[in-house]
Amino acid sequence: MGFPEFSVVVPASTANLGPGFDSAGLALSLYMTVHVSPSDAWKVSYEDAGFENLASGAENLIVTTVNDVANRHGRQAPCAALSVQSDIPLGKGLGSSAAAIAAGIEIANHLLSLDLSSYEKVRIGSELEGHADNVSAALLGGVTISHYDGEEIDLVHVPEAKMGAVILVPPKALRTEESRGLLPGQLRHEEATRSSAAGSVWAAAVVQDDWETAGRMMDKDMFHEPYRKALFSEFDAIRKACRDIGAYGMTISGAGPSLFVAVKQGTETDIAKQLAEQFSYYACLAVQASTVGAIVKE
């Protein structure tokens, strides 16, 4: 049985934002668009280079997510051909897997008329992703601050972040598992307390749209940055340059290998150019916060 063609558009996301480890997410103005049309079997094609090694059939993450959502509701989704165009670099800490999961949830919801609430979408996405930060931002847009314990999720959504950003993207990808393997099994109480305080101030500042304070807190993470920073070429020099240029703050984007720089709205293009001149190893992308999460276009 056929169905009318439609598209799903999902933003990229950055996570952690310093001390908001596995809890803070921000949607960015880079997008994955999935065009969905009837087919006799699941087929996935990518229009952009760099995605050649991803599964092109039923094993693709978007498709497995569609079928997972359908199974949860005792339904079977009709097969479809998915044509994917993506601005989101693969394996670069910008939520490419979360975007695929968000797209799958939205496709299933639309194909099967499930009428899922935002909470249900985020809960399912968090279960599939293993944490809520990227996928909640991809689904909702804006800034999300969440607590997910593996079963229930509590979330604060800030629809609009009045700031710009520069993403420094290195040429080599990094597997999340590799980056997580660098983290210690435990932290000293003093370190955990200090980083938790930074995370609390960061969240309060973001809710009040105080990105100067939020940027300072981004520099104070002790949950993951000290253990991962050695992976990044010229990390300390980039942070100093960002401070000298007048950026709000710089931190690792998710698990890496990209770096996220929060800047004053409207300055992102100029700051990206300055950083590109100083640090040629990285591609410097000027982006904005996306107020729009995953949407369906008919």
- Is the domain of 80 the same as that of 176? no
Kindly give the parts of the chain with pLDDT less than 50.
Answer: none
For residue 128, the model assigns a pLDDT of: 97
Tokens of residue 164, six digits: 């710009």
Statement to judge: residues 77 and 146 lie in one domain: yes
Residue 62 has a pLDDT of 98
Nearest Cα residue to 149 out of 25, 22, 27, 14: 22
| Residue 90 is assigned to a structural domain of this protein | yes
As for how many domains the chain has, the answer is 2
Examine residue 282 and state whether it is found in any structural domain, yes or no: yes
Q: Is 120 exposed, middle or buried (0-12, 13-18, 19+ CB in 10 A)?
A: middle
55 occurs within a structural domain: yes
Q: What tens digit of pLDDT does each residue of 85-122 get?
A: 999 999 899 999 999 999 999 999 999 999 999 999 99
Q: What residue numbers bound the domain in which 75 lies?
A: 6-160+291-297
41 in the same domain as 148: yes
Question: DSSP string spanning 149-177?
Answer: -SS-EEEEEES----EEEEEE-SS---HH
Is there a domain that residue 1 lies in? no
DSSP state of 208: T
pTM across the whole model: 0.95
